[in-house]
Amino acid sequence: MVKAIEFVVRDSAGGTSRGAIAGDAGNNFIQMGSGDAVSLNLSRQSVAGYARQGDSLVLTLIDGRTVVLDGYFTAGTANQLYLSQNGEVIAVQLSNAADGGLYASYGPVEGWDKYSNLDALRFSEGDDVALAGGAVDEPAGMAMFAPGLVGLGGLGAGAAGLGLAGLAVAGGGGGTAGPTGPVDPTGPTGPVDPTGPTGPVDPTGPTGPVDPTGPTGPVDPTGPTGPVDPTGPTGPVDPTGPTGPVDPTGPTGPVDPTGPTGPVDPTGPTGPVDPTGPTGPVDPTGPTGPVDPTGPTGPVDPERRPPTVDPKDSTTVIIDTPDKELDVSGTGEPGDTVTVTIGTVTETTVIGPDGTWHVTFPETNLPADGNYEAVVVFDQTDGVTTTLPGPDFILDLTPPDVDITQGSESVGHVENAADYTDGVRIGGTGEPGASVTVVIEGHSHSTVIADDGTWSVVFTTTEIRTGEYTTDITVTARDPLGNTTVITDRLVVDTVPNPIDFDAVTRDNVVNNGENTLGFAVTGTSVAGAVLVVTVQAGATSYTQTVTTQADGTWTLNIPAGTLPGGEYNATVTATSTDAAGNGSSETHTFRVDTQASVAFSGTVAGDNIVNASESRNVVLTGTAEPGSVVSVSWQGSTLPATVAANGTWSVIFPAVSGSAVLTATTATVTATDVYGNTATDSRVISIDLGTSVAFDAIQAGDNVVSAAERGAGVSLTGTAEAGATVVVQFGSGTRTVTVGATGTWSATFTAAEIPTGNGLAQTATVISTDVAGNVATASHLVTIDTLVNPFAITGNSTGADNVLNNAEAASGLTITGSVEAGSQVQVSFGANGPYAATVTGSTWTVIIPPGVIPPGETTVNVVAVAVDRYGNTATLPTETIVIDRVVTNFGADTLISGDGYINAHERLNGVPFGGTAEAFSQIEIVLSNGQVLRTASDASGNWSVTIPASYLPVGDGVSMTATVTATDRAGNTADLVRNVIVDTEAPEALGVLAFGKAVNTNVMTELYTTTDGEHVSIFRVDSTGGANALTFELNENVRLNVGGSRVTADHYSLDQGVSDGSYLVLQNTDAAGNESSTLFIVDNRGSVNVDLSRIGLAGFDFSTIDLNVAPQARLTLTNSDLHALTGGDNELVIRGDSLDQVRLQLTNTTPVDVREIDGQHYNVYAMDGGTVLVDQDINTTFF
């Protein structure tokens, strides 16, 4: 575990704060202000280095920890760092080093004993860091102040605060400079302050010979000791050495010739000082100056051992120091006497044969407390005396003074409640600068005794409990050097005031009239012997007496008769008391004064203080009284107890009230007795009226029936009731409130808007009469309302389910029927025609509109019906519109079926479209002459269409057919039309090539001869690339030609463009119906040729024949897909050729299904996938 480092910070106002840092899990941070002084419980050996980080000073310790003084370099009054251990305080002065770091100089400060103003910065404890880290005396990179600076007594005013201003002494890093050698003026700290105590130091010896150039001048060379040997082991001081020359004004610089150690008189008997001597030149006038050459001692013996005092750190002795003896030792000439004086105490010894000496000041022979420097006097046997300074000693064997003068039992203090509110203060006197720790019940507070010798601490109310008790106080005072004084005392706490309690004032804490009249007592409890001042406050009246608590803890205050004013109010009694500790207590008790009773009626009886017949049962009377009162009510000869609620309200119920229909006044009396026996009464006048009457006159509206005319003019209802009564008449949706006149009659008029309409409607009028007493009477009267013709309606007509009058329906006229109130008359108008009288039978009517007035075409006509009942009420039905549709409009069909009046094989195969127009949503029926029927309907735009399937059409060449189209519109009207068409599904014969001719000496075909089957012939050239190219030609029909030895008739085609070998010719033959039969003619006689059926130009033709005759050794491969692509609807292909040609068919069944003869040549018939191929038997046929 790493022990924390204690610190203390003193601010510029003199206030101090303490703490510890850099321990386990602790922070290493101290906040600095401006002009602060901070002291760390460390020695200089514990600090490995210093660094500036921003405004912060960072100390690195030898164990690796760091301490951060935050804000140390903040602008303003400079802050100061001290190191303190074992009661010693060392100042640290920092300057900038050449390498950019910080250079530290150390030195004790002036007045560093226990009485210094730096006592608050002193630590008596040792430095645990140095002990744990094995620190050396002088950390690397640090400089020590010369021992001559101890105490800083000689520093000038400019360095009085620290004794460090401008100083940085050489010797850091383990140099060899002696402790008192002369200072090198070029060293890091410059020359020693001339007011310093130590003078020039020899850099090599313990005291060194005096520099011959120094302020003391050379020693007389004629003296018995001779000049200093510059080559001796200690030699003259090098003026360029690390410590520089001594300031000539310093106390040990050039010796004052009048002082005890001034320069040696060069004419004196002693001559120059022995360079190995410890003291330098001797003042010729001092006790140890140059030896009188005529004196008994003669010249100094150069072989004598010089007297020395062993160097030793300052020794502090306090009460707790285990070994309080003081030791001083050194060397010198054996046999010399050494006298050591510390303060007023002296010890003497003789230097032993080994040249050492030692004296001990026992604990029983110590000087008084203080700071001392030992004085050592050497008395030589020849009478020469030498005086040297000895070690420093600090003695403090007196414990610090401390006394309690405030807050304890010894000073007669008792901590009462008033004192306790701001904490418990313990104070006293003691040794200024000593720390004081006060412990009460495990809680402690510490402070430092002020310069005026006073101290105080305050314990919070959370640390010192309340109550009545005595507890120990322990006070420990510790002076800066660690001496302690412990004293004890007692803390007396009494924060509990005298308790005060009250009994109930009287038995129920209420003073009633009798108790107030006779007088009463207020009693309570407190501490025996306690004196109480008791005051009764009743409104503006008060009564005060001082009473003493009896031995049994009770007290009594007697209130004389009639002291309190009468009435109902709250009074208070207050008792106050102060106990021996000065704690005050006060308590107040509230009691009630009630010397009177009260009672009263509240509200109104029956709402208006008049009891009518409906209110005559269980009549409730209410009022108020004091809570707890007993209340009774007398009325109409009966007295009943009232029920009193907790809040003093009361009520009583009288089961029945007697009286007549005449308004009569009665009196009710209430009596209340409160809980204290006080009584009060009140009375009220209550009127009684137990009856009234009302009636309608026998006849209303002249005959008790309200017609439409009467309703329109308004209807007045009349009747009788008690004079002055309020009458409310309700009729229909209206309500009238009227006051009955003095004659006892009333009248109320209702508007048409309030009277309902109806046909024989029984309407009851009601009247409610309320007299001044609230008695209510009612009456009613039945009035018949007949203001309508009801029923009256059109219930049907002859337009059918679609409500449209079509042509067939109009031919019989339009019949309209309806209902009406029995006994009424009905008239019907049809557009501008009519009116026509309807036939009324009971409650139904019928009228027929003649056919002749019904208009043709598509139109509408309004129908209006009017009825008049037996009371003259009329009714006109809302206009009804009759929709008339007597024609089918927009009816038509395609003029030519299939576009040209012909249906060829392709068209039949794909189905033949047929369409037209009609009225929207009409039903269309097409009947073909072969009996096939198609049906459809027109769309919202009136268009209709069908596709006549192939199965509905015949096959053949020039078959005539008719299509009859019938349209039926939504009204049921119909129209017909007929269209004719010729069906031709047989393709013309394919042209056969009989012969062809080429241009002379070329392979270009220029003419060809074909069979005469052509109807409409087109010739195309299909090259290996590109589409089919139509050729123009000149046709000569029916020419004679020799073919195979026979004379035949042929058609001659002279081509305007020649056809080269390698091209294909397509001879297309088309009939009038558009049926096509094309021949693929291979024009290539150069040798074996492969027929390319994939040429683009072959698409779009219906081939029936491929002619290989002109292409020698033709090679043709035909797949199923080729067959479908090349042929027309019949998918039949004839391949002509000879034995040199080869045909390959995609076929698994290689056996011909038939043999067919064409133009005398036999062909094998093969059934391929969905088609038929006929191959000349001469052709070499293979399969794959």
How much is the pLDDT for 231?
37
Tell me the sheet residues that pair with 608: none
Token output for 24:
């386990």
Nearest to 196 by CA among 234, 137, 243, 238: 243
Q: What is the pLDDT of residues 901-917, one digit of tens each?
A: 999 888 888 899 999 99
pLDDT band of 752, cuts 50, 70, 90 = very high
Averaged pLDDT for residues 1094-1101: 92
Sign of the torsion formed by the C-alpha atoms of 353, 354, 355 and 357:
negative
Q: What is the pLDDT of residues 960-994, one digit of tens each?
A: 999 999 999 999 999 999 999 999 888 888 898 88
Task: Let me know: does 728 contact 778? Beta carbons within 8 Å.
Answer: no
Distances (CA, A) of 539 to 505, 522, 580: 17, 17, 33
> Of 256 and 443, which is predicted with more confidence?
443
Question: Has residue 196 got a pLDDT over 90?
Answer: no
pLDDT band of 131, cuts 50, 70, 90 = low
pLDDT band of 201, cuts 50, 70, 90 = very low
What is the percent of the chain where pLDDT is above 90? Answer: 62
Question: Has residue 200 got a pLDDT over 60?
Answer: no
Distances (CA, A) of 186 to 116, 156, 158, 390, 446: 34, 21, 22, 31, 50
Question: Has residue 113 got a pLDDT over 80?
Answer: no
Cis peptide before 835 (omega within 30 of 0): yes
Distances (CA, A) of 850 to 121, 814, 815: 139, 7, 9
Q: What is the mean pLDDT of the chain?
A: 84
Domains (range + CATH), the chain: 5-144 (no CATH), 308-396 (2.60.40.10), 402-494 (2.60.40.10), 501-594 (2.60.40.10), 599-688 (2.60.40.10), 694-786 (2.60.40.10), 792-885 (2.60.40.10), 892-984 (2.60.40.10), 993-1183 (no CATH)
Token output for 107:
């030195």
Q: Rg of the chain's alpha carbons, rounded to an integer?
A: 75
> In which residue are the tokens 């309508």 written?
788
Please count the other Cβ atoms lying within 10 Å of the Cβ belonging to residue 484.
17
How much is the pLDDT for 810?
93
Task: Report the DSSP pairing between strands 1171-1176 and 1132-1136.
Answer: parallel
How much is the pLDDT for 229?
40
pLDDT band of 1159, cuts 50, 70, 90 = confident
Distances (CA, A) of 355 to 6, 312, 923, 1116: 45, 18, 158, 148
Q: What is the pLDDT of residues 576-590, one digit of tens each?
A: 999 989 999 999 999
Q: What is the pLDDT of residues 278-322, one digit of tens each?
A: 333 334 333 333 434 333 333 445 578 999 999 988 899 999 999
How much is the pLDDT for 1021?
94
Question: Has residue 213 got a pLDDT over 70?
Answer: no
Q: What is the pLDDT of residues 700-729, one digit of tens each?
A: 998 998 989 889 999 999 999 999 999 999
Averaged pLDDT for residues 374-391: 94
Q: What is the pLDDT of residues 625-643, one digit of tens each?
A: 989 999 999 999 999 999 9
Task: Let me know: does 42 contact 123? Beta carbons within 8 Å.
Answer: no
Question: Has residue 871 got a pLDDT over 60?
Answer: yes
Give the whole-angstrom CA distance, residue 181 versus residue 200. Answer: 5
What is the percent of the chain where pLDDT is above 70? Answer: 84
Task: Report the DSSP pairing between strands 957-968 and 923-928.
Answer: antiparallel
Please count the other Cβ atoms lying within 10 Å of the Cβ belonging to residue 843.
14
